[in-house]
Amino acid sequence: MAATPDPTPPTIAWIERLALWTDAPEQLRDFYSQLLGACAAPLNEDPATGLRSVRLDFCGVQLELIQPPATAEPALSERQRAGHAQLGLALGSADAVDQLSRRLLAAGHPVVEPPRRTRDGRYECLALDPDGNRISLTV
């Protein structure tokens, strides 16, 4: 008889890394490091696979930007680009949200929902990175 699985979910200590598929890792690296303050590592290129990536650090949580190899199967590339919904970044204050919203607009990046109070009372702004990924900026 098979063992009964434990119904208790595992305890997650923290989010270690998130990843985004992109065709322009350098452009996204510059966006996240220059405008949002992430610390960027050098671009990593794997000559064996053709995969290119760069990791950014947001106070211990890493965002990895991955460019699939040009030789990736079309179906695989389609799956790799699906599934991202939103990246949430806490800035610590409403003033910081307002300032970053203005900075993004001044740099030509869309702010699709300006800073506001949400129905649940959070202060939030919704912007887009150069690939159109949604970024929620909150307190």
The architecture (CATH level 2) of 85-139 comes to: Roll (3.10)
**pLDDT category of residue 2 using cuts at 50, 70 and 90:** low
Q: Which CATH superfamily is domain 15-83 in?
A: 2,3-Dihydroxybiphenyl 1,2-Dioxygenase, domain 1 (3.10.180.10)
116-139 pLDDT, tens digit each: 998 778 899 999 999 888 888 988
- pLDDT at position 122 is 86
Task: Name the segment(s) of the chain with CATH classification 3.10.180.10.
Answer: 15-83, 85-139
User: Which residue is it, tokens 């990175």?
Assistant: 129
- Gap between the Cα atoms of 105 and 24, Å rounded: 21
Q: Which residue has the higher pLDDT, 4 or 81?
A: 4
Classify 1 as helix, strand or coil.
Answer: coil
d(CA 50, CA 68): 7
Number of Cβ atoms within 10 Å of the Cβ of 126: 19
3-class DSSP state of 84: coil
pLDDT exceeds 50 at position 5 = yes
| Apex 29 CA angle, 25 and 30, nearest 5 | 125
Q: What is the pLDDT of residues 91-109, one digit of tens each?
A: 889 999 999 999 999 999 9
* Residues 44-83 pLDDT 10s: 988 888 888 899 999 888 898 988 887 755 554 554 554 4
pLDDT of residue 14: 65
Is 28 within 8 Å of 130 (Cβ atoms)?
A: yes
